[in-house]
Structure 1
Amino acid sequence: MTTIFWMLVGLLILAALLIVLPPIWRSREIAAADQDQRNIVIARQRLVELQEQLQTGTLTQAQYEEQRAELEVALSDDLDIPTQAKASGTKGRWMVFVLVLLVPLTALTLYAGLGSYASLNQTSDNSAMPGPEDINRMVAGLAARMKSNPNDAQGWLMLGRSYKYLQQYPEAADAFAQAYRLLGDQAEVLLSYADALAMANDGRLSGKPAELVFKALALEPNNMTGLWLGGMAKAEAGDAAGAVQLWRKLEALLPPDSEARQEIQTLMANVENRRPEEQPTEAASPGIDVEVSLAPELRTKISPEQTVFIYAQALSGPKMPLAIVRKQVSDLPLTVNLNDSMAMMPEMKLSRFDQVKLIARISKSGNATQQPGDLIGVIDSVAQADHTRNIIVIDSEVK
């Protein structure tokens, strides 16, 4: 790093000298004839101007003759001045040697007084992303500001999104409700409000969330978030045909070969291929027992209030949890039972899959989406028919 730095310094000084020195080094001779010719050209131009002024009536004949005589006298005086314009070929070249020494010396002196090479090696600590505590403090500050300024609609939207990021869904729903009060029926506001209400109700869209979603779709029929949530609401209500209709519309709007489009296609296939006789009976599935603990060597990397997600996923297709439980690190070790009552939507219940993946993850940000730095434990495949307790040890870090 030191070698590169000084190479750059040298190149910059060299560039500065290449700009400054050539004009000084080159010798110039200004011939006397050149000066005379310029004076004659100027006089001729002035004479043309006088003639034009005479023709337009700006000058009288007498004024014209007087100014022409003055011009001739001035030109005669200029041509009689002896010139010393021929410069020596070496005059001023002494400045070259001065600048060659002065420019680097001045640059290095200023750098020594004002610069710091150590600043090039500073760590990224100053630009580090804010941690969970910083985010919580900023959100609390925004919430306090909104109490004193309750008519700031954009502030309520920002607060709602912040609470949603922190997975504080009841608070997010309250904030979006305030934004809805101020902004009225705007699709994005309606959908944000609906989503927060649903998440505060364990992911269920029935009732007011569904009402808000379909009101948003009436305003913007091609809103992709609205189509997704509308399909979920239809599926939750048992209207498979209605869900597929909305998702097909969404599928046409998504980029070809995108992961989102593939998930939509899988969901539609699951809904369309399910026959009425395949509907689950009232006899509830016993579910899957999961015991979760934390590896001792990772205890120093977490705090008691951080969120623990324990969930089951299908081995292929959408990554939406088939059943999910949310706890805190302070609850560990613990045992939970994942079952159909924890499904995100009726068409994606745990009992419909013979083999599932089990995951326990500590989210440092509180976000349901897996992020680098989260701690995780996984059982890659568990058979529904196997009713033994499944033990997950959270023992690795997401990279």
Structure 2
Amino acid sequence: MTTIFWMLAGLLILAAFMIVLPPLWRPREIAAADQDQRNIAIARQRLSELQDQLQTGALTRMQFEEQRAELEVALSDDLDIPGQVKASGTKGRWMVFVLVLLVPLTALSLYASLGSYASLDRPSDASAAPGPEDISRMVAGLAARMKSNPNDAQGWLMLGRSYKYLQQYPEAADAFAQAYRLLGDQAEVLLSYADALAMANDGRLSGKPAELVFKALALEPNNMTGLWLGGMAKAEAGDVTGAVQLWRKLEASLPPGSEAQQEIQTLMANVENRVPEEQPTEKAPQDIEVEVSLAPELQSRIGPKDTVFIYAQALSGPKMPLAIVRKQVSDLPLTVNLNDSMAMMPEMKLSRFDQVKLIARISKSGNATQQPGDLIGVIDSVDLADRTRNIIVIDSEVK
């Protein structure tokens, strides 16, 4: 890195010299004939002016003759100095030697006093991004400041979002509760508080989270986050009709043909089609045992506090997990049991399906939605009647 730096610096200095030095070194001779012609032209113009002044009476004949004689003498003197202008063409060449020595020496002395050679070998900005420990330290500092300034509503909101990013949901809920205490019934505050409470309760919205969601919807009936969470809360409570009503309203607000709209349409279709007489007979609650590990070649790409989602998904229909467990990379390798108690909706749980897809995914952002750059491992089809342990190796990247 240092060698490349000095090569580039040398090339830049050389390019600058090639622009600046040639004009200083090149002789700037002006041909004597050209100079004589200019002097003659000037004398003729002055003579013409004297003649005009004579005709208008501004000059007497004697004054005219005197000034014409002076003009002729001056012109004669000018024409008798060949090479005076030519000699001046060599002036300034001494600057060439000064620049060649002074510019590099000045640049090096300034860099030595103000720059840092060590910085040439430092890693790029991307690799210098704050890691999980740095973020945790910053969040702890913010939490400490909030203790001394408990009436800073925006600070509580920031702290709540920070805890949520770190998947510390109980702490996030406490921070949002403080913001709610200060700001009152604002839709975004209510929904952030409700979401954190639900996540702290394994994703369940029943109780206070649902109460907060519907209070937010009363304030902003078209709030997209509120419509989604409200539909989830109603579906969790078994009110399929109410859930579909909210989701249809959400569907109309989404961009036509978007992935989000297609997913909500599939979810509604699945829920609406599950009338009691058509529902498959529920099997006795059972577990799916899943062992998850990370491929060695991917270990350098993640941090110990990155989120690991392990979940079962229907082979067709909505992508909503039928059962989900959230862990951290530091927990790997691990074994979990997925079961109906981990369902996000009563209508969408393991016991209603014969076969499912198993997925283990690592997310740096902690986002439950799959994103490019996530690391993933998949078993495409698992029979729930098969009681053998299912082994997933996270070995590929989401494109």
Shorter-chain TM-score category?
A: 0.7 to 0.9
Cα drift, residue 4 of structure 1: 9.3
Shift in CA distance, 392/147, structure 1 to aligned 2, threshold 3 Å: same
Cα drift, residue 144 of structure 1: 1.0
Determine the structure 2 residue equivalent to 1:109.
105
Matched, 1:292 2:288: no
- Which aligned pairs between 1:151-230 and structure 2 lie closer than 5 A? 151-230=151-230
CA distance in 2, matches of 1:117, 1:20: 29
1:195-230 CA distance string (max 9 Å, x none): 111111211222222222222223333322122212
CA distance in 2, matches of 1:326, 1:122: 36
Shift in CA distance, 206/14, structure 1 to aligned 2, threshold 3 Å: same
CA distance in 2, matches of 1:370, 1:132: 20
Determine the structure 1 residue equivalent to 2:260.
260
1:115-150 CA distance string (max 9 Å, x none): 678755542278522222222111111111111110
Letter of the 1:230 partner, please give it.
Answer: G
Shift in CA distance, 128/318, structure 1 to aligned 2, threshold 3 Å: farther
Cα drift, residue 266 of structure 1: 1.4
Cα drift, residue 366 of structure 1: 5.9
- Which aligned pairs between 1:295-310 and structure 2 lie closer than 5 A? 308-310=308-310
- State the TM-score, normalized to the length of structure 2: 0.72
CA distance in 1, matches of 2:245, 2:44: 92
Letter of the 1:109 partner, please give it.
Answer: L
1:10-58 CA distance string (max 9 Å, x none): 35643565367659965676966769989xx9xxxxxxxxxxxxxxxxx
Task: Say if 2:309 and 2:324, in contact at 8 Å, map to a contact too.
Answer: yes
Cα drift, residue 313 of structure 1: 1.8
CA distance in 2, matches of 1:305, 1:315: 30
- Structure 1 residue runs of 5 or longer lacking an equivalent are 42-75
For residue 85 of structure 2, give the secondary structure of its aligned residue in structure 1: coil
Task: Say if 1:372 and 1:397, in contact at 8 Å, map to a contact too.
Answer: no
For residue 291 of structure 2, give the secondary structure of its aligned residue in structure 1: strand
Determine the structure 1 residue equivalent to 2:19.
18
Determine the structure 2 residue equivalent to 1:396.
395
Cα drift, residue 379 of structure 1: 1.9
- Structure 2 residue runs of 5 or longer lacking an equivalent are 50-66
Determine the structure 1 residue equivalent to 2:60.
none
Cα drift, residue 192 of structure 1: 0.7
Determine the structure 1 residue equivalent to 2:239.
239
For residue 146 of structure 2, give the secondary structure of its aligned residue in structure 1: helix
CA distance in 2, matches of 1:182, 1:112: 57
Shift in CA distance, 212/19, structure 1 to aligned 2, threshold 3 Å: farther
CA distance in 2, matches of 1:227, 1:104: 72
Shift in CA distance, 101/91, structure 1 to aligned 2, threshold 3 Å: same
For residue 347 of structure 2, give the secondary structure of its aligned residue in structure 1: helix
Cα drift, residue 294 of structure 1: 3.7
Determine the structure 2 residue equivalent to 1:88.
85
- Which aligned pairs between 1:8-47 and structure 2 lie closer than 5 A? 9-10=10-11, 13-15=14-16, 18=19, 22=23
CA distance in 1, matches of 2:311, 2:277: 27
Letter of the 1:245 partner, please give it.
Answer: Q
- State the TM-score, normalized to the length of structure 1: 0.72
Of stretches 115-124 and 179-188 in structure 1, the one that deviates more from structure 2 is 115-124
- Which aligned pairs between 1:349-368 and structure 2 lie closer than 5 A? 349-361=349-361, 368=368
Cα drift, residue 242 of structure 1: 2.6
Shift in CA distance, 286/120, structure 1 to aligned 2, threshold 3 Å: same
CA RMSD of aligned residues (A): 4.3
For residue 347 of structure 1, give the secondary structure of its aligned residue in structure 2: coil
CA distance in 2, matches of 1:34, 1:217: 90
For residue 124 of structure 1, give the secondary structure of its aligned residue in structure 2: coil
- Which aligned pairs between 1:111-150 and structure 2 lie closer than 5 A? 111-113=107-109, 114=111, 119-120=119-120, 122-124=122-124, 127-150=127-150
